[in-house]
Structure 1
Amino acid sequence: MKREITLLTILLAGIYATDASASGAKALFYDEGDVSVQTSTKTKKKPAQKKKTKETAQNYLGISYWVDLIEPNGKVSRTTASRTFRSGDRIKLNLQANRNGYLYVVGVGSSGASRVLFPNAEGVANGIKAKITYAVPFDSSLKFDNLPGEETLLVMLSEKPMPDLAPGTKSLPEQETRQMLADAHVPGAKDLVIEEEVGEAAPLPASYAVAPVQALGKKKVLTLQIKLKHE
């Protein structure tokens, strides 16, 4: 899908929760709550104290994400990637990690061609801090064209830099793209928990994707596949 975009990062205010009732995957991004999550392999017991909660949180790598929909009048409304967008809609993707790391965003077109959307150029830092929100892009937006369909974004959070994903690469090898898609964790994948909060009970809707660090292999990379539908 053709988009006119300029990708930069902005450091925004971190969102810290004061609601001690936060639990599950969501609790990784909050100061209080039970960070135990149900995976396909095992369930960790609920930590007895806040100190234990923080120790348990280090056993998981997670990404929180949501979409800002920018209306023609400039009004911004927060929603999730599960929304069906319309041709011409402009959006920003907001990402937050529970731990420090390196962030990469790759766009995969319907033809299978892919390109590195972030970092988009040499010199653009993609090292991120825990519980800080990063907007992609900063000084522009992603715009859906007039061809209805489904676009795929691969979001990767790595403990170390990934030199193979050169900033601004416009065409990744087909084999590399297939491998990234195969590595992508989607709902139902082993050891991955995805939770979504929407509706009236969630004034700040967001999705949370969490996996145990030990389940991510030697490279320790959490790969998330986000599909954006538009009509």
Structure 2
Amino acid sequence: MLQNKLSSRDKEEMYRQIAEYSFEPTIVHSQQKILYINKAAADFFKTQQEAVVGANVVDIFTEDYREMILERIRLGTEERQVGELMETTVHRFDGTTAEVDLYCHPVQFGETEAIQSIVRDITNLKETERKLTKLKNEIATPIVPIADGIAVLPLVGSVDGDRTNQLLEIIPKKVQGHQLEWLIVDVSGIYNIDEVVAEFLYKITSIMQLLGIQLVFTGIRPELAQKAVESRIDFAQLTTMSNVKEAIKRLTS
């Protein structure tokens, strides 16, 4: 009964008072315009509450997520659909970015149908995950000496963009001190066969040549060769052999 007697202004003020006590950074927006943020959100985004009212909420998000955010806003506005929890990256007003979990759902803000967005900072968590992944990749990237000046590097698992960047950093460091002339890179254990893998083989070859080390790739499956052709990567510049046994026999004979 009390709720029915409250005016729209009273309901909006009640919402503000409740949200101000929340530790969750909360933003209320309608038609992409910010109507209200609580103190927790202002502190998180390094700004003042009144300074961002009226700003475009989409501008908070980094460019690579904005199309997805626009679609979530459309679904929330037109269909009153609750947005599922998602990970995204946001700009803060001190020039830094933060990785966050984002949860959105429709609300009534006074007389306005709006969307409430709650963000949770997961920057430290994601950084820890990246460090653990890098450590795992370092452990899973063994340089195995087999003869003077020759070593084998077996690559196993999935190779995506992040892992290729890590491998391009890890491998040159790991070969230091081995005094290698040849490094046999066996790719038969790579799960995915795509353009990312093909481009990685070309890049690591160029880097190792600068270090004076020649690469021999073994275990290249026909699917990978086809992807290389589709990516216009010239595999003729790479030294390839069918398997590690053959490579060792040729290099040590």
TM-score higher than 0.5 here? no
Larger radius of gyration: 2
TM-score band w.r.t. shorter chain: under 0.3
Identify which of structures 1 and 2 has the higher relative contact order when contacts are C-alpha pairs closer than 8 Å and 6+ apart: 1
More helix, by proportion: 2
Q: Normalised by the size of structure 1, how large is the TM-score?
A: 0.27
